[in-house]
Structure 1
Amino acid sequence: MRVTLVTPGFPPDAGGVEAHSGHLVRELAARGVAVEVLTGRRGLCRAATEVRDGVRIRSFPVWRTNGMSISPQLLLAGLRAARGTDLVHVHSYHAACGFTALGGYLTPVVFTPHYHGDGHSRRARAMHRGYRFVGRLLFRVARAVICVSEAERDAVVRDFPAAAGRIHVVPNGVDTAAVRSARPFAGQHRTILSLGRLERYKRVAVLLRALPSLPADVQLVIVGDGSQHGELRGLAAELGITGRVRFLGRIGTEEVHRWLRTAVVLVSLSEHEAFGMAPVEAAAAGARVVLSDIPAHREITANHLGALARLVDPEPAAVATALIEQLAEQLAAPGRVEAQVPDWGRIAQQTLEVYRTAREDRS
């Protein structure tokens, strides 16, 4: 089978969609699928092509916009690819490369929207309201839609009910072997980890405000970057906790895995998620987790995390209480309990089944 995978970002760039597409491509190629990747990359002046682990990756320049990833060359390349491949797998409703789903008029298209509603900011929400008409068309032409959780499926059906009969739920996976083989950092204080973009909807500020209520030997390590970086540093100074907070910015995958193995607790207080990859990775590494009480987090807690997770209202006192409980439980039972989570090999196999269904369904 020849598959063209179109995604707004791809490793080594960091992000949830990037990680998802990177792991999926690796596992599909290992199963004999001839995959070509079309993606965007900031900082490019012209299109570039490379072959990595037998997979051809074509990267195109991306316009610098805050609301949506836009790459006209990527869009055109995706539409052209629809004429010379067996199937096109398009990732991300929230990027303009989603338009390549229109290639479904020429060849079977599978659409993984990574959908979480109307955007993370007032500007993004305004853009998505205007984009809704296009979104209906994208979901209509896709032969199959892959959602990474039942929570995402519910959001898609709410906004695009015509897609309901073509949705398959295939969760995100974890590179369990790489995560569990990583070496923890030696000599660290008890570590609480925040892993993700520094944007307002992630509510990292709530976590900072909870830190003064925790024991003095606890440090907070923040991995990621975004528009709130400066504001969060200022808040840490205002709270008098700069000596207990480390802002690491964007770091490599191996270093992320080492922090996952080092952390006692990972915290994610996001307003909305399609899945919640970082908490599942943390639980696979043997860390405990504290999560905002949203549908996607409730789902991964029920399916994967169990007693390792605490769901909380995203306000400082409740977060501090949950963290104190998690820290106390770790002291009482210091061994790391690694959650049983789906690995990417299994996810790739489920995705291949969706591909076969999409190719056979000519309705």
Structure 2
Amino acid sequence: MRVLHLGFEDPRMPGAGGGSVRTHEINRRLAAKGFRVTVLTTRYPGWQERMEDGVHYVPIGFGTGGNRLTRLVAYIARLPFEVRKRRSTAELVVEDFFAPFSTMAAPLWTKRPTIGVVQWLHAGDKARQYKLPFHWIERLGVRKHRRLISVSQGIGDRLKDLNPDLHVDVIGNGVDPGAWNIEPRLGKDVLFIGRLEYGHKGLDLLLEAWSHACSSIEGNLLIAGNGPDEERLRTGIQDGGLSERVQMLGWLSGERKFQALSDARLLVVPSRHETFGLVAIDALAAGTPVIAFDIPCLKEIIPPGTGWIVDAFDVQALGEEIALRYSQAGLEHVAEQGRKFAANYNWDALADMQAQAYRTALTELKKPPTRRPHASHAERP
């Protein structure tokens, strides 16, 4: 099958999120099965068109893509033109949802069978942040799709609320095989890994919780990642009097990331919202228990016995949980249970599921859409 994937983020871009990791891990396995996959992404400093693991990456836009806003605007402006140029060689178009409004309603203009992959569905939060109606764009776009792939059941349920006529396949994310190559150990420090972004990732909540917990903990808080709020984070650490107890590691990837996960005593995920939580499942695979807020998608991947869920956004409770679990006896057993659970998240099996979803979509989307019959006046409540 020839697939044109509207992937938005290139996995080689510094600071790229877990969505681009999923895109590549699935696509390279599809390429190995004989799929011909082209991925259109934003440009970024140092971008290049290339073949990587059998996947054709084409960054689109204008100039070097030097900042987030110009990357976003250029991608939106160029995408319909680039799709039009390539659609004669594509059998299926795959639209990745992306911030700030999730979807460009691709089925309206691709002129090819189109399925969406939903790893991001938070336009409402962006609408409140920027006072712009991104959530209405999201709602309209979801209603223009007939088939979507969601990375979690929680996101799948929300999609069905927006469009009851949707068919949604839930296909999660997988564990990087590198997680199994590092020997688990009971470390000394508490770790955060992710994009340095206050609103989404809850870094402000993490610092406040750590200020409550750190006096009871021997180790330090290690923060790995980069992102738009890095300087704000450094200021918050200094203003909170935490400079001696928080260490910033910068961006980690590959073996260095998994070594950091394995060396940590606990991983904390203070996110306000997630669509999956890739770093949490990676931590469980590396043998590190996870503490997170009680939000839908994280509850799915941190079952009892592998970590702990705290009332959403209660920083006092989060701090108390970190201090309590840090000194808890039997963390090795929790780590063992986490590894067993994470073994279910296998990229090869997930790629097989996605391949089948694509084949089914290609068949079903060629048929005229069917609508559920509307109730008559007498049938309506």
TM-score range for the pair, normalised by the shorter chain length: 0.7 to 0.9
Q: How does 1:1-363 map to 2 (within 5 A)?
A: 1-13=1-13, 14-43=16-45, 48-61=48-61, 62=65, 64-66=67-69, 69-70=72-73, 71=75, 72-94=77-99, 98-99=103-104, 101-102=106-107, 106-121=111-126, 122-124=128-130, 126-129=132-135, 131-132=137-138, 136=140, 138-158=141-161, 160-162=162-164, 164-175=165-176, 177-182=177-182, 190-201=188-199, 202-212=201-211, 213-214=213-214, 215-301=216-302, 305-313=303-311, 314-329=313-328, 331-334=329-332, 336-337=335-336, 338-341=339-342, 342-361=345-364, 362-363=367-368
Give the C-alpha shift of residue 323 in structure 1.
1.3
In structure 2, C-alpha distance between the alignment counterparts of 1:67 and 1:112, rounded to whole Å: 24
Q: Which moved more, 1:88-97 or 1:349-358?
A: 88-97
Call closer, same or farther: CA 1:67–1:293 in 2, change over 3 Å. farther
Q: Distance in 2 between matches of 1:251 and 1:225?
A: 9
Q: TM-score, normalised by structure 1?
A: 0.86
Structure 1 runs of 4+ off > 6 angstroms? none
Please tell me whether the aligned partners of residues 67 and 123 of structure 1 are also in contact (alpha carbons under 8 angstroms).
Answer: no
Deviation, 1:139, is 3.2
Given that residues 100 and 123 in structure 2 are in contact (C-alpha distance below 8 angstroms), is that contact kept between their aligned partners in structure 1? no
Question: What's the CA shift for 1:140?
Answer: 4.4
**Deviation for aligned residue 1:12:** 1.4
Q: 2:371 maps to which residue?
A: none
Residue 144 to residue 194, structure 1, CA distance change in 2 (3 Å): same
What TM-score does the superposition give when structure 2 sets the normalisation length?
0.82
- Aligned mates of 1:99, 1:306 — CA distance in 2: 38
Partner SS, residue 341 of structure 2 = coil
- Cα pair distance change 1:74/1:97, threshold 3 Å: farther
Contact 1:274 1:296 in 2 (8 A): yes
Identical-residue share of aligned pairs (%): 25
Match of 2:20, as an amino acid? E
Per-residue deviation at 1:298? 1.9
Query: CA separation of 1:287/1:22 partners in 2, compared to 1, >3 Å: closer, same or farther?
Result: same
Q: What is the Cα deviation at residue 69 of structure 1?
A: 2.3
Q: CA deviation at 1:347?
A: 1.0
One-letter amino acid of the structure 2 residue matched with residue 170 of structure 1: I
**TM-aligned CA deviation for residue 229 of structure 1:** 2.0
Tell me how many residue pairs correspond in the alignment.
349
1:51 is paired with a residue of what secondary structure? Answer: strand
Deviations 1:74-94 (A, max 9, x none): 442123322221111111143
TM-fit CA distance, 1:227: 3.2
Letter in 2 for 1:326: R
Contact 2:105 2:142 in 1 (8 A): no
State the AA in 2 paired with 1:322: E
The 1:129/1:320 distance shift into structure 2, 3 A limit, reads closer
Tell me which structure has the larger Cα radius of gyration. Answer: 2
Question: Could you tell me whether the CA contact under 8 Å between 1:2 and 1:85 is conserved in 2?
Answer: yes
Question: Match of 1:254, as an amino acid?
Answer: E
Following TM superposition, by how much is the alpha carbon of 1:327 offset from its aligned partner in structure 2, in angstroms? 1.7
Inter-partner Cα distance in structure 2 for 1:63 and 1:130:
29
Compare 194-203 and 87-96 and name the one that shifted more. 87-96
Unaligned runs of 5+ in 1: none
Provide the secondary structure at the position in 2 that maps to 1:190. Answer: coil
> Is this contact kept in 1: 2:100–2:122, CA < 8 A?
no
Provide the C-alpha distance between the structure 2 equivalents of 1:68 and 1:42, rounded to a whole number of angstroms.
7
8 Å CA contact 2:147–2:167 kept in 1: the answer is yes
For residue 125 of structure 1, report the CA deviation from its aligned partner: 5.5
Distance change (3 Å), C-alpha of 1:66 and 1:157: farther
**TM-superposed deviation, 1:16:** 1.9
TM-align CA RMSD: 2.7
Shift of 1:64: 3.8
For 2:85 and 2:108, the matched residues in 1 are separated by: 8
